[in-house]
């Protein structure tokens, strides 16, 4: 005897299937929604991850696209995480600039490792200066946006001071004299300002595309690096009026 016959024998009618029930039965069961999970980080690693994410956003989207929320999205963490670690956007930018200065300082320090002649050593740092800016234009730019930074933060202050010390030491080696970072003679200050102005100005013009016109007028194959070399090695022949 079948199941329906057994129910009929006991006076039990099988339940009727309603249209809605039939449609529900024909549908495949829905998969449970998977909640979006945040990337887990150890507390110390999260700060580093946020700075790395901020650098990626800065180089990809520029300073205008660098916000606390954008950094949080890039790192895959809650929107509150950058605020917890850096306070506000100024804090984040300041810590990011400190990272930039440390990267920059490391590039400057290692620039002379392969130099074999005094001239190569003299040109190594300026070339490394320009090379860092070309490889990291966003980071290089934020390092000199003083109005957006908080130099009272120890990490930024120390990194920026180390950068100046490296420049002063390099000029001291070229002048064959010891230069104090705290007290400069006028000639020492002029030498530091002259070297920095030349390389920084050249770098800014290069990044802004303002040297293209000059490069196009030079002999074919002349690179920006070769132009920089010529600037740094050309003797000063201009006579001042008396």
Q: What is the pLDDT of residues 158-214, one digit of tens each?
A: 999 999 999 999 999 888 899 987 899 999 999 999 999 999 999 999 999 999 999
Cα–Cα separations (whole angstroms), residue 178 to 98, 168, 172, 175, 191: 27, 9, 6, 8, 13
Dihedral of the alpha carbons of 213, 216, 219, 220, in degrees to the nearest 10: 160
> Mapping DSSP to helix (H, G, I), strand (E, B) and coil, where does residue 163 land?
helix
Q: 139, 100 in Cβ contact below 8 A?
A: yes
Q: Is residue 8 pLDDT above 60, yes or no? A: no
Q: What is the pLDDT of residues 48-100, one digit of tens each?
A: 999 999 999 999 999 999 999 999 999 999 999 999 999 999 999 999 999 99
Q: 128, 115 in Cβ contact below 8 A?
A: no
Q: 54, 66 in Cβ contact below 8 A?
A: yes
Q: 139, 58 in Cβ contact below 8 A?
A: yes
Cα angle value 191/136/179 (rounded, 5°)? 20
Q: Is residue 32 pLDDT above 70, yes or no? A: no
Q: Is residue 154 pLDDT above 80, yes or no? A: yes
Q: Is residue 144 pLDDT above 50, yes or no? A: yes
Q: Which helix (H) or strand (E) holds 84?
A: helix 81-86
Q: 72, 127 in Cβ contact below 8 A?
A: no
What distance in Å separates the CA atoms of residue 12 and residue 28, rounded to the nearest whole number? Answer: 30
**Given CA atoms 232, 237, 238, 242 in this order, what sign does their dihedral have?**
positive
- Indicate the pTM of the whole model: 0.78
Confidence of residue 242 (pLDDT cuts 50, 70, 90): low
Q: Percent of the chain having pLDDT more than 90?
A: 70
What distance in Å separates the CA atoms of residue 167 and residue 105, rounded to the nearest whole number? Answer: 10
Cβ atoms within 10 Å of 62's Cβ, excluding its own: 12
């Amino acid at each position: 005897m079948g199941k329906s016959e057994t129910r009929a024998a006991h006076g039990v009618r099988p339940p009727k299937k309603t249209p809605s029930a039939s449609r529900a039965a024909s549908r495949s069961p829905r998969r449970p929604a998977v909640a979006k999970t945040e990337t887990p980080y150890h507390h110390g690693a999260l700060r580093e991850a946020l700075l790395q994410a901020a650098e990626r956003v800065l180089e990809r989207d520029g300073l205008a696209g660098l916000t606390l929320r954008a950094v949080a999205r890039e790192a895959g963490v809650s929107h509150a995480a950058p605020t917890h670690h850096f306070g506000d956007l100024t804090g984040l930018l300041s810590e990011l600039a400190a990272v930039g200065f440390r990267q920059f300082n490391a590039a400057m320090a290692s620039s002379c490792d392969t130099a074999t002649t005094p001239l190569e050593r003299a040109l190594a740092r300026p070339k490394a200066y320009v090379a860092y800016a070309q490889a990291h234009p966003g980071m290089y730019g934020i390092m000199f946006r003083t109005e957006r930074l908080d130099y009272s933060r120890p990490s930024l202050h120390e990194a920026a001071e180390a950068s100046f010390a490296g420049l002063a030491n390099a000029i001291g080696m070229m002048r064959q004299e010891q230069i104090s970072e705290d007290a400069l003679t006028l000639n020492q200050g002029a030498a530091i300002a002259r070297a920095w102005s030349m390389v920084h100005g050249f770098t800014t013009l290069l990044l802004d595309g303002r040297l293209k016109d000059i490069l196009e007028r030079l002999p074919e194959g002349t690179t920006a690096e070769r132009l920089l070399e010529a600037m740094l090695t050309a003797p000063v022949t201009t006579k001042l009026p008396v």
